[in-house]
Amino acid sequence: MKLPPFDYEAPRTVSEAVELLAEHQDEASVLAGGQSLIPLLALRLAHPAVLIDINGIEELSGVSAADGWVAIGAMTRAYVAEESETVADALPLLAAALPLIGHEAIRSRGTIGGSLAHADPAAELPAVARALDAEFVVRAQSGERVVPAAEWFEGYLTTSRDPGELLVKVRFPAAGPGTGISFQEVARRHGDFAIVGLAVSLMVSEGSISDARLAFAGMSDVPVRAAEAEDLLVGERPSTELFDEAARRATDSVDPPADLHGSAEYRRKVAAALVRRGLRTAADNAGERQ
């Protein structure tokens, strides 16, 4: 269908955008890459009175590294992050997930902040942000606040962003020595949303696991960490038996959705397989990063 009518604003600065959000509150939608919002408009599932297009705000784009963190501007497009050497060097988990987002043409327009603010629980970036405990920097007229990933995702397509706030950037901790990663997903075809996805980041020092992070996509209405499996892994040496037990613990505690893409039981089986595969891959490549 054609898009419903709306008033269109194209601010050039973050302050202008925030002023517009303060004025229109939840009557406004923020347009970033448009790869989720425009379909919602076309399907008439969203009817914003005002569309605030942030594509012209230059200060919202870019990748920068400082003090062990990598900050990615909300309007940074997926393909730009995919081609970024900083991302490739410091955020290998994000680098592994980016090529799996949608299709080429989607990554030409889609943005890091857009995906994270849209908060589709089956998408790749929310799982990565949750696994790495990313920090979300939002700005309102009253000032800036930082929201940890654990508090960002509140439900299906719902975040803790206030209607008067704009997501300006997301900060990810840079991977340290001994970090091994893997992003696994099963989808009907390349580029589709994952039936189940899994972000894994392990830190291995002197042969044993010192930090373990596993976050699922597609297993709940938000990206979820497999805390029981993480607790099991820390302090242990990588082994097939350990990873089998981690897969069991990771999938015992989740209650995955059932839809036409797969039953809850199927999702749980796929998730267990992805945990075993993801942990093996991450443990194997942990040694390469010194």
| Smallest gap from residue 28 Cβ to other proteins (A) | 13
Q: Residue 37 CB, nearest distance to other proteins (Å)?
A: 9
Which residue, 33 or 256, has its beta carbon nearer to other proteins? 33
Nearer to other proteins, 108 or 210 (CB): 108
Chain centre distance of CA 122? 9
Whole-angstrom distance, CA of residue 58 vs CA of residue 20: 17
- At which residue do the structure tokens 């991450």 appear? 282
Among residues 266, 260, 207, the alpha carbon closest in space to that of 238 is found at 207
Name the minimum Å distance from CB 10 to other proteins.
8
Report the residue number, 67 or 190, with the smaller CB distance to other proteins: 190
Under 8 Å between Cβ of 150 and 259: no
CA angle 229, 233, 236 (to 5 degrees): 160
Q: What residues make contact with other proteins under the rule CB under 8 A?
A: 1-8, 10, 31, 34-35, 38-39, 41-43, 51, 53, 55, 79, 102-106, 108-109, 189-191
Among 215, 209, 198, 231, residue whose Cα is nearest residue 284: 209
| Residue pointed to by tokens 């080429």 | 104
Find the shortest distance in angstroms from Cβ 123 to other proteins: 14
CA distance 125 to 119: 9
CB of 194 to other proteins, least distance (A): 14
Angstrom distance (rounded) from CA 154 to CA 119: 9
What gap in Å lies between CA 73 and CA 212, rounded to an integer? 27
Q: Which is nearer to other proteins, 101 or 271 (CB)?
A: 101
User: Taking the complex as a whole, how short is the minimal distance between the CB of residue 54 and other proteins, in angstroms?
Assistant: 11
Q: Minimum distance between the CB of residue 39 and other proteins, rounded to whole angstroms? A: 4
Residue pair 130/218 in contact by the 8 Å Cβ criterion: no
Cα distances (angstroms) measured from residue 219 to each of 26, 92, 149, 202, 255: 28, 23, 17, 21, 7
**Which is closer to other proteins, CB of 56 or CB of 148?**
56
Cβ-based nearer residue to other proteins, 114 or 223: 114
Nearer to other proteins, 192 or 236 (CB): 192
